[in-house]
């Protein structure tokens, strides 16, 4: 297994201003080291967490997707983050996984934040999506999904088989007023799934004067915080080494004892 190098970008988003956000991220991309494999942007990185879906939505060939495609090719890196996509007359909070060759995958947010009316404006995804890079399996999730452990739960591996994923990735617009839940649940998901967890949040106020303090984090399988950034825009790059993950799973093989279930 090769090392996997991931760059996380935490930023203060411009409300419903795609041009300003994409310009800002272009500047921040300059800080990503050349050896990085993946760049992670926050939830709804081009607009902020808006319920104005009809006005802000794009198609799957729209300008933000094209922006991701252009920069992934230019930098020769995967770029991922969520944006608002209209498809078949429905709107989705869609996490796009854009590869340098222009091929891309997507995960539509499963759990919609009813407290903010997200469930009234967007359609829920139905499928888990696990992508692979350098042999690492990465489970894609969005913000509110973090509160629902069954959706992220590792399936008990069969004898001689690997776990279903190695990194659980969350992109978010998680407000400061509930940041204790964010910090606690990121650790819980790492411990219970014996997985690394990457959580990339935003900073700053949105149009509803809801403040976000970031607290983007990388957590190891033991629940230890390897990186955490609060209150500021920043780019951080981390190298994941598979032997450390394998050591945790070998020393304490908890996954084989997990309950078996099927999500219907």
Active site residues: 43, 109, 143
Residues comprising the chain, all counted: 264
Q: Is the dihedral of CA 146, 55, 38, 218 positive or negative?
A: negative
Rounded Cα distance between 109 and 93, Å, is 6
CB distance 68 to 79 below 8 Å: yes
Q: Are 83 and 41 in contact (CB under 8 A)?
A: no
Q: Tell which phi-psi region holds residue 143, choosing left (phi > 0), alpha (psi between -120 and 50) or beta.
A: left
Distance, CA of 106 to CA of 117 (rounded, Å): 23
Q: Judging by beta carbons within 10 Å of its beta carbon (0-12, 13-18, 19+), is residue 112 exposed, middle or buried?
A: buried
SS3 of residue 179 by DSSP: helix
């Amino acid at each position: 297994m090769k090392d996997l190098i991931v760059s996380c970008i935490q930023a203060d988003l411009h409300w419903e201003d795609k041009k300003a956000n994409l310009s800002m991220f272009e500047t921040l991309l300059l800080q990503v080291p050349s050896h990085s494999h993946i760049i992670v942007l926050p939830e709804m990185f081009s607009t902020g967490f808006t319920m104005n879906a009809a006005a802000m939505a794009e198609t799957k060939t729209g300008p933000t997707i094209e922006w991701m495609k252009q920069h992934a090719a230019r930098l020769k890196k995967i770029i991922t983050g969520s944006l608002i996509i209209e498809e078949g007359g429905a709107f989705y909070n869609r996490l796009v996984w854009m590869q340098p060759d222009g091929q891309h995958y997507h995960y539509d947010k499963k759990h919609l934040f009813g407290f903010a009316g997200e469930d009234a404006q967007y359609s829920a995804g139905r499928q888990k999506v696990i992508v692979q890079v350098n042999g690492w399996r990465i489970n894609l999730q969005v913000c509110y999904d973090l509160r629902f452990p069954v959706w992220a739960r590792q399936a008990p591996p069969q004898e001689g088989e690997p776990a279903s994923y190695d990194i659980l990735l969350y992109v978010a617009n998680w407000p400061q007023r509930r940041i204790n839940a964010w910090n606690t649940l990121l650790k819980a998901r790492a411990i219970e799934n014996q997985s690394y967890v990457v959580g990339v949040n935003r900073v700053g106020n949105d149009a509803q004067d809801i403040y976000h303090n970031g607290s983007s984090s990388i957590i190891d399988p033991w629940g230890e915080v390897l990186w955490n950034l609060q209150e500021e825009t920043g780019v951080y790059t981390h190298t994941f080494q598979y032997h450390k993950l394998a050591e945790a799973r070998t020393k304490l093989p908890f996954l084989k004892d997990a309950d078996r279930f099927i999500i219907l």
